[in-house]
């Protein structure tokens, strides 16, 4: 019984540490993106504001008015089913769109992930798709997130 209590306590402490560490790292990445929107990291990472108001940095691939991201953490569940309105901040531009977790198109997931995260294990991640609202410039080029 005592061992079980120690294990539960250790797991709780690990969860708190990971949560705090993630917040600190995310804040640092967000600051770097704002300070250097033309920098190397900004070519690969956007800030995504979810329906809950949570703002997180995620790697992205932009193809015209569609932006893709991969999610390995539970935040993507906010975009299940029909999805929701989101905001993305890409290289200094704030853009509105509709985000949706793509859980029903394995072929599209594989195609996008081959470009977006070619070194990640193929069985990890959930594809997120953001359709950007028209801004008058619907001819935005595809942006490769790799240097």
Residue 102 covered by a domain: yes
Residue 147 covered by a domain: no
C-beta of residue 94 within 8 angstroms of C-beta of residue 125? no
Domain hosting residue 109, numbered range: 2-132
Residue 144 covered by a domain: no
pTM over 0.95: no
Residue 146 covered by a domain: no
Residue 136 has a pLDDT of 62
Residue 137 covered by a domain: no
Task: Indicate the pLDDT class of residue 49, thresholds 50, 70 and 90.
Answer: very high
Residue 139 covered by a domain: no
Nearest in space to 29 (alpha carbons), one of 65, 120, 21, 73: 21
The total number of structural domains that make up the chain: 1
Q: What CA–CA distance (Å, rounded) separates 99 from 107?
A: 19
Mean of the per-residue pLDDT values for the chain?
A: 82
Residue 11 has a pLDDT of 54
Mean pLDDT value across residues 69-79: 92
Q: Where are the beta strands (DSSP E) in the chain?
A: 45-49, 55-63, 66-71, 84-90, 93-102, 126-132
Query: Which CATH number do you get for residue 24?
Result: 2.30.110.10
Element (H, E) at 25: helix 2-35
Residue 144 has a pLDDT of 42
Q: What CA–CA distance (Å, rounded) separates 139 from 83?
A: 24
């Amino acid at each position: 019984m005592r061992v079980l209590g120690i294990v539960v306590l250790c797991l709780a402490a690990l969860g708190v540490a990971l949560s705090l560490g993630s917040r600190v790292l995310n804040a640092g990445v967000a600051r770097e993106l704002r300070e250097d929107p033309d920098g190397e990291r900004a070519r690969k990472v956007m800030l995504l504001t979810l329906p809950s108001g949570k703002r997180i940095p995620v790697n992205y691939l932009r193809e015209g008015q569609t932006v893709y991201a991969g999610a390995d953490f539970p935040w993507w569940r906010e975009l299940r089913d029909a999805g929701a309105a989101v905001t993305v901040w890409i290289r200094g531009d704030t853009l509105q769109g509709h985000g949706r977790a793509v859980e029903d198109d394995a072929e599209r997931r594989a195609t996008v992930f081959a470009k977006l995260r070619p070194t990640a294990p193929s069985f990890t991640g959930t594809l997120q798709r953001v359709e950007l609202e028209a801004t008058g410039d619907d001819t935005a080029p595809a942006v490769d997130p790799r240097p």
